[in-house]
Amino acid sequence: MRYVAPRWLPGGNLQTIWPALYARRTDGPPPAYRRERWATPDGDFVDVDFMDAATPSAPLLVLFHGLEGSSRSHYAEAFAAFAATRGWGFAVPHFRGCSGEINRAPRAYHSGDFEEVDWMLARFAAQHTGPMLAAGVSLGGNALLRWAEEAGAEAARRVRAVASISAPLDLAAGGAAIGRGFNRLVYTRMFLATMKPKALAKLAQHPGLFDRDALLAARDLYAFDNVFTAPLHGFRDVDDYWSRGSSKPHLADIRVPTLVVNALNDPFVPAASLPRQAEVGAHVTLWQPAHGGHVGFPLGLPPGHVRGLPAHVGDWLTQHV
């Protein structure tokens, strides 16, 4: 991936924050989605936003969003616009609690949630007749990679190719990075501002589910995940969750064409934690440009746009349709 950041947006933080807030996502109006609500096997629900394909046999691109993201995240709308130019179908399955309504079961979502990804992709495969492609962004990218690792050779029977963008492949390294300095003051506060209220709503549904005082005292993602995410999803503690949920140690197990994109100046994902090509096996392609930030990769004159990343990733995926 050849990416050169605009001179007016230097550094990983600006290349992360500006695109999410101000950069153009599409050439026209925002995508017009239609929503389906799917019942889950455990009596809960997930909401899926669709943009229909030009024909029933056209490819379907499924995008798994990042932490506290949705189909209205800047990257989701940019990928929707790319899919529309190709006549593809496009779908964003929302992780539980991210579609605007709190889910019912005593669980939420997490970075290693490959079981949920597997169920979602199986549901897509059951109702779509054309080829399927899957992409994941940040948390969704790591979860998608964990699915591909666990599925092994079976993954290629479900999807033609997989792409991960700005995923924290080593959750412990990413958690440490976001818990320090500027990251802690800005990004951690931003995430906890929505995650804590959702957790408290979950506690109101299921009294005694976790320690309320410990959750309110959490000032970083390590503490939050230790109180809420890890125990709710069957992990011993946050260290167990971050270890078992990380995709980096298992990338060589992937048996479906896979693209892994990470900018070396990503504030959330330390460059030193990224894998090298020799570590990932023949099915995985690494793109590690020097710049781009976290799910940023802006282009053009101010205010810039974020259509370049979907075009690069989409062109790579197209090779495998």
Report helix, strand or coil for 46. strand
Active-site residue, from 111, 138, 164, 246: 138
By CB neighbour count within 10 A (0-12 exposed, 13-18 middle, 19+ buried), where does 87 fall? exposed
Which pLDDT does position 302 carry in this prediction?
97
- Residue 270's CB: how many other CB atoms inside 10 A? 15
Active-site residue, from 113, 166, 266, 273: 266
Residue 145 pLDDT exceeds 80: yes
Percent of the chain residues past pLDDT 70, beyond the cut: 100
Q: What is the mean pLDDT of residues 274-294?
A: 97
How far apart, in Å, are the Cα atoms of 152 and each of 36, 99, 107, 145?
A: 29, 30, 26, 11
pLDDT in tens, 1-58: 789 999 999 999 999 999 999 999 999 999 999 999 999 999 999 999 999 999 999 9
B/e letters for 96-129, b = 16+ CB within 10 Å, e = fewer, are bbbbeeebeeebbbbbbbbebbbbbbebbeeebe
Alpha carbon dihedral 9, 137, 21, 298, in 10-degree steps, equals 30
Strand order in the sheet with 132-137: 34-39, 45-51, 89-93, 60-64, 132-137, 161-165, 258-261, 284-287
The residues facing 259 across adjacent strands are: 163, 285
- Residue 57's CB: how many other CB atoms inside 10 A? 10
- Would you say 27 and 46 are in contact if contact means Cβ atoms under 8 Å apart? no
Residue 160 contacts by C-beta under 8 Å, 6 or more apart in sequence?
59, 131, 132, 133, 256, 257, 317, 320, 321
Active-site residue, from 74, 110, 294, 312: 294
**Residue 159, phi then psi, degrees to nearest 5:** -130, 155
Which pLDDT does position 255 carry in this prediction?
98
pLDDT in tens, 85-96: 999 999 999 999
Half-sphere exposure of 65 (CA within 13 A, CB side): 27
Residue 208 pLDDT exceeds 80: yes
Residue 80 pLDDT exceeds 80: yes
pLDDT in tens, 153-163: 999 999 999 99
99 is catalytic: no
The DSSP call for residue 293 is T
138 is catalytic: yes
* End-to-end Cα distance, the chain: 20
243 is catalytic: no
Q: What is the mean pLDDT of residues 299-308?
A: 97
Tokens of 180: 């320090």
Q: What is the mean pLDDT of residues 307-319?
A: 97
